[in-house]
């Protein structure tokens, strides 16, 4: 292992999913984790579409790495079918444009920007960089298996580091 500096390393993190009350537990979840010092990990470049109201935010999103950024006009283009959204990996939005996104719920479905998923924020620059270079991770809950009872407080995550 030490003689392969460019080798891939699998890491496993374990989580305590117990909340403040002893009988309450978190469910498994998926989040985009920022990678502040990007490294080559064999993942295709992500194509990001950002929705912003303010022209400064649109410019900031494009400078941060969004493939395309726009406002209400771009929402209308998508609703009318003038713009294909199948080529985009992530849809991000600034907080001020969220009420205008309602017509896109049926079109974007699972990729619709939501605050709890981290795809809606007031800092569009940081959010675009997070989704462009970040790593999508899923914390899983342990299931009941042969010889082991289900432990509601236990969660685990497995992810890859390196190339």
Q: How many whole angstroms separate alpha carbon 27 and alpha carbon 4?
A: 37
Q: How many whole angstroms separate alpha carbon 151 and alpha carbon 142?
A: 7
143 within 8 A of 16, measured Cβ to Cβ = no
Alpha carbon separation from 83 to 13, 72, 148, 161 (Å, rounded): 41, 13, 51, 36
pLDDT attached to residue 41: 65
**pLDDT tens track for 61-84:** 999 999 999 999 999 999 999 999
**pLDDT tens track for 102-140:** 999 999 999 999 998 899 999 999 999 999 988 889 999
pLDDT band of 36, cuts 50, 70, 90: confident
Q: How many whole angstroms separate alpha carbon 17 and alpha carbon 28?
A: 8
Helices (H) and strands (E) in the chain, counts: 4, 8
- Across 84-107, b (16+ Cβ under 10 Å) vs e yields eeeebebbbbbeebeeebeebeee
Q: How many whole angstroms separate alpha carbon 129 and alpha carbon 132?
A: 5
Whole-number CA gyration radius for the chain: 19
């Amino acid at each position: 292992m030490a003689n392969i500096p460019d080798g891939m390393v699998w890491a496993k993190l374990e989580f305590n999913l117990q909340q403040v009350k002893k009988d309450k537990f978190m469910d498994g979840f998926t989040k985009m984790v920022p990678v502040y010092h990007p490294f080559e990990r064999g993942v295709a470049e992500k194509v990001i579409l950002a929705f912003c109201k303010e022209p400064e935010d649109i410019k900031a999103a494009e400078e941060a790495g969004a493939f395309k950024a726009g406002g209400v006009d771009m929402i209308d283009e998508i609703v009318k079918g003038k713009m294909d959204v199948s080529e985009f990996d992530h849809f991000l939005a600034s907080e001020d444009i969220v009420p205008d996104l309602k017509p896109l719920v049926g079109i974007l479905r699972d990729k619709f920007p939501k605050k709890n998923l981290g795809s809606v924020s007031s800092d569009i620059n940081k959010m675009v960089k997070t989704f462009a270079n970040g790593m999508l991770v899923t914390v899983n809950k342990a299931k009941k298996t042969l010889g082991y009872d289900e432990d509601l407080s236990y969660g685990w995550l497995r992810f890859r580091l390196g190339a």
